A and B are shown apart, each in its own frame.
Chain A
């Protein structure tokens, strides 16, 4: 049992979870506040990760690499938004879900191996140093509570969660401003907003780009501890972010945070639980992982059907079909 708890805690505070939270914050701007169906958040993340890693490998300093990543994602978002944001919502869903896959296909294509590393991706050591060099903690290991990590790893933990809280603060300011009111108005009724003289298209575009930028930041943090693996950032990743967001509660500022932590902890619980208690003759260890994902899929369905407001969402605001 202690192992399960340890694994759950470890998953809950890992930078990976932080990356999920940030990407989910972006998705919350898209879907929770503006009603945009972005089904390709993983594509935004991968785009940001590539932009960051490739420019770092090419010699860009950290700040420039981050800027390039954000720039790439902005262009990507505009490209997807221009044809779709004037149309009915599901066109955006179809185009984003496709575009995210295309980014992955193209990234892993053998023609681009020299740039993107093909299907092998870009190993973390090629780009991580510009980040870890900034660590004020020096070498060695430190134990805090039950966790004993390298100092560079603690640095990553610290930065990742600092970014999470900065993002949460930013979103809180944004959605409580008149601009945030515009977002919710667009979510409710685009025609009404037009009749009030609001430029709905521009608002949606801003939301799409902004949420995508959060995705890019999430993508960078996602690949910092490991490597840029195009196949690890496919459609599943998008769906996990959706599940995390809906679990926590869309249109709630802290929904993504709570949802992601719960998501990872619950998944760890299901998987280690199945590992520990189900004999491997019935379920091999590879199967317990798949089993955990099946549970995620079904949980997503159940959530949407029975508790669309998630754990902390406002029930009345989150009825989808008001």
Chain B
């Protein structure tokens, strides 16, 4: 009995596997870089390309009318509390890359503008003292990239601070509930994939939210003003495809070889952490630390009763519903979908009954990354855009949703996402800003205490 702990490394093919692994990893890093590098390089080369033909119509009666020429650019924006409510008289400080500061005050229309002559990242800070009471920006500081000949828009978003119980109104409730449904639907698309990956491979993918960020970033490359400028619809489609391809490649070059090596689940989880770190800084490397907005125009809004949402929000919700329903149909009715559920249920049994488990997992990664990417584009479009660390916040919501619904169950993930989306947005009525994420954590902890298998999960047989 001299044989040591059975080690896969002892087998003769190990060296080859190792070399292949290196290539794969390097390949993955390159892949990430190339995808991102493509659009990062574009702004430079595309700079002479026609800037938006006419500068975005400046707000009428703006005190600091600004017109971008070949040598100048404008940093500006409009402070809006809602579609119809703008805020004037607010001081805004704009810091140039060389550190010089300039303060402007918004007009009654909420608009502010500053002509600048240097390219680079500008810091835009709102002076909260000058805001009306009970209103706070979700972020008081934005970074906008400035390209000469274009308008750089700093879009602040606001939320009303808690003003105690009397601050509650059913109108506000309806508004927040609508935002909640919107968030829930977007989360659902990403969390289905997370749950399916868990179900089929047992892996908690801590880099999943980076796929969402990536969706926003890739769409920025395809359809953003500083990118290729493709029509938005085409951009969304291409982004989904690129992300799906990235998911496919991730499984091909990273996860499948690791599964073959017999790498433990814990080990793989740490690998996802390394991947998420590398992806985050790759985003930052190419795009910078600022917010990335795919469209910079002020969105059209639609009022339905007390609810005001942008037109695009409705489109996004429509897309989400169709996609989620489509995935549901696929899982329930198609051959490959049933195979996927079988693998999630019991991989060894599925393999024994002739299902190609590797193929199913490959499909799951592709689908999951595509869905996460699509969710990322839509998320970037309905909110204030994406940043390199957007995934940080989304990851918590995704895990809360997936755990709530039951780890590994696709439909549970949808239900969980809707609940989390609603709860998170409704929390905003009473608690400001990032406290909503604390609510998500609280729900997660409560669920683990009361029903760790989640709403739709089932208690598993032990031993």
**A–B Cβ pairs within 8 angstroms, 29 of them:** A35-B266, A37-B266, A79-B445, A80-B445, A82-B449, A83-B448, A95-B448, A97-B395, A97-B396, A98-B441, A102-B437, A110-B433, A191-B463, A234-B389, A236-B277, A236-B280, A239-B274, A243-B274, A287-B285, A293-B281, A294-B277, A297-B275, A297-B281, A300-B273, A301-B25, A304-B270, A305-B258, A321-B262, A321-B263
Q: Does A11 contact B (CB under 8 A)?
A: no
Residues A316 and B448 in contact in the complex (CB < 8 Å), given A106-B438, A297-B277, A300-B270: no
**Are A320 and B267 interface neighbours, CB within 8 A?**
yes
Interface residues of B in 413-463 (CB under 8 A from A): 432-435, 437-438, 440-441, 444-446, 448-449, 452, 463
Per a CB cutoff under 8 Å, which of B262, B274, B399 touches A94? B399
Q: Does B51 contact A (CB under 8 A)?
A: no
Which of chain B's residues have a CB closer than 8 A to the CB of A105?
433-435, 437-438
Interface residues of B in 54-112 (CB under 8 A from A): none
Per a CB cutoff under 8 Å, which of A90, A102, A106, A321 touches B204? A90
Which of chain B's residues have a CB closer than 8 A to the CB of A98?
395-396, 399-400, 437, 440-441, 444
Which of chain A's residues have a CB closer than 8 A to the CB of B280?
236, 297
Which of chain A's residues have a CB closer than 8 A to the CB of B264?
320-321
Given contacts A102-B396, A321-B265, 9 further A-B contacts (CB under 8 A): A93-B204, A101-B393, A294-B277, A294-B282, A294-B285, A296-B277, A300-B274, A319-B5, A321-B262
User: Which of chain B's residues has its CB closest to A296's CB?
Assistant: B277
Q: Does A291 contact B (CB under 8 A)?
A: yes
**Are B434 and A106 interface neighbours, CB within 8 A?**
yes
Residues A108 and B5 in contact in the complex (CB < 8 Å), given A83-B449, A291-B285: no
Alpha-carbon distance between A95 and B262 when the two chains are bound, in angstroms: 27
**Are A91 and B448 interface neighbours, CB within 8 A?**
yes
Which of chain B's residues have a CB closer than 8 A to the CB of A300?
270-271, 273-274, 277
Which of chain B's residues have a CB closer than 8 A to the CB of A108?
434
Alpha-carbon distance between A320 and B265 when the two chains are bound, in angstroms: 9
- Chain A 68-111 interface mask (CB, 8 Å, partner B; 1/0): 00000000000110111001011101110111011001101111
Per a CB cutoff under 8 Å, which of A95, A101, A296 touches B445? A95
Which of chain A's residues have a CB closer than 8 A to the CB of B21?
305-306
Can you list the 9 inter-chain pairs with the closest CB atoms, starting with the nearest? A297-B278, A321-B264, A297-B277, A300-B274, A105-B434, A301-B274, A83-B448, A293-B281, A98-B396
- Chain A 202-237 interface mask (CB, 8 Å, partner B; 1/0): 000000000000000000000000000000001110
Alpha-carbon distance between A302 and B284 when the two chains are bound, in angstroms: 22
Which of chain A's residues have a CB closer than 8 A to the CB of B204?
90, 93-94
| Min CB gap B368→A, angstroms | 17
Which of chain B's residues have a CB closer than 8 A to the CB of A91?
403, 448, 452
User: Which of chain B's residues has its CB closest to A306's CB?
Assistant: B18
| Min CB gap B109→A, angstroms | 26
Is chain B's binding surface mostly helix, strand, loop or mixed? Answer: helix
Q: Does B269 contact A (CB under 8 A)?
A: yes
**Are A301 and B448 interface neighbours, CB within 8 A?**
no
Alpha-carbon distance between A12 and B171 when the two chains are bound, in angstroms: 58
Q: Does B7 contact A (CB under 8 A)?
A: yes
Q: Does B354 contact A (CB under 8 A)?
A: no
| Min CB gap A204→B, angstroms | 15
Which of chain A's residues have a CB closer than 8 A to the CB of B445?
79-80, 83, 95
| Min CB gap B430→A, angstroms | 12
Residues A294 and B392 in contact in the complex (CB < 8 Å), given A242-B270, A304-B267, A321-B264: no
Q: Does A1 contact B (CB under 8 A)?
A: no
Q: Does A39 contact B (CB under 8 A)?
A: yes
Interface residues of B in 354-406 (CB under 8 A from A): 389, 392-393, 395-396, 399-400, 403
Q: Does B136 contact A (CB under 8 A)?
A: yes
Q: Does A29 contact B (CB under 8 A)?
A: no
- Chain A 180-219 interface mask (CB, 8 Å, partner B; 1/0): 0000000000010000000000000000000000000000
Which of chain A's residues have a CB closer than 8 A to the CB of B393?
101
Which of chain A's residues have a CB closer than 8 A to the CB of B263?
305, 320-321
Alpha-carbon distance between A302 and B274 when the two chains are bound, in angstroms: 9
Q: Does A298 contact B (CB under 8 A)?
A: yes
Alpha-carbon distance between A79 and B448 when the two chains are bound, in angstroms: 12
- Chain B 8-42 interface mask (CB, 8 Å, partner A; 1/0): 00000000001001100100010000000000000
| Min CB gap A140→B, angstroms | 33
- Chain B 132-144 interface mask (CB, 8 Å, partner A; 1/0): 0000100010000
| Min CB gap A67→B, angstroms | 26
Q: Does B410 contact A (CB under 8 A)?
A: no
**Are B267 and A321 interface neighbours, CB within 8 A?**
yes
Is chain A's binding surface mostly helix, strand, loop or mixed? Answer: helix
**Are B392 and A234 interface neighbours, CB within 8 A?**
yes
Which of chain B's residues have a CB closer than 8 A to the CB of A95?
441, 444-445, 448
User: Which of chain B's residues has its CB closest to A304's CB?
Assistant: B270
Which of chain A's residues have a CB closer than 8 A to the CB of B25?
298, 301-302, 305
Q: Does A66 contact B (CB under 8 A)?
A: no
**Are B448 and A235 interface neighbours, CB within 8 A?**
no
Interface residues on A, range: 35 or more
Q: Does A262 contact B (CB under 8 A)?
A: no
**Are B273 and A239 interface neighbours, CB within 8 A?**
yes
Alpha-carbon distance between A135 and B441 when the two chains are bound, in angstroms: 42
| Min CB gap B269→A, angstroms | 7
Residues A110 and B136 in contact in the complex (CB < 8 Å), given A39-B206, A82-B449, A321-B263: yes
Alpha-carbon distance between A89 and B262 when the two chains are bound, in angstroms: 19
Which of chain B's residues have a CB closer than 8 A to the CB of A299?
274
Residues A101 and B396 in contact in the complex (CB < 8 Å), given A106-B438, A301-B275: yes
A83, A91, A305 — most chain B CB neighbours (10 Å) = A305
Residues A239 and B277 in contact in the complex (CB < 8 Å), given A37-B266, A291-B285, A321-B264: yes
Which of chain A's residues have a CB closer than 8 A to the CB of B345?
none
- Chain B 228-252 interface mask (CB, 8 Å, partner A; 1/0): 0000000000000000000000000
**Are A97 and B4 interface neighbours, CB within 8 A?**
no
Which of chain A's residues have a CB closer than 8 A to the CB of B279?
297
Q: Does A308 contact B (CB under 8 A)?
A: yes
Alpha-carbon distance between A83 and B441 when the two chains are bound, in angstroms: 12
Alpha-carbon distance between A93 and B278 when the two chains are bound, in angstroms: 19
Which of chain B's residues have a CB closer than 8 A to the CB of A297?
274-281
Q: Does A170 contact B (CB under 8 A)?
A: no
| Min CB gap B21→A, angstroms | 6
Which of chain B's residues have a CB closer than 8 A to the CB of A306?
18, 21
Which of chain B's residues have a CB closer than 8 A to the CB of A90?
204, 265, 269
**Are A109 and B441 interface neighbours, CB within 8 A?**
no
Alpha-carbon distance between A110 and B137 when the two chains are bound, in angstroms: 10
Q: Does A290 contact B (CB under 8 A)?
A: yes
User: Which of chain B's residues has its CB closest to A236's CB?
Assistant: B277
| Min CB gap B292→A, angstroms | 15
Which of chain B's residues have a CB closer than 8 A to the CB of A294?
29, 277-278, 281-282, 285
Alpha-carbon distance between A148 and B136 when the two chains are bound, in angstroms: 46
Which of chain A's residues have a CB closer than 8 A to the CB of B5?
316, 319, 322
**Are B274 and A304 interface neighbours, CB within 8 A?**
yes
Q: Does A246 contact B (CB under 8 A)?
A: yes
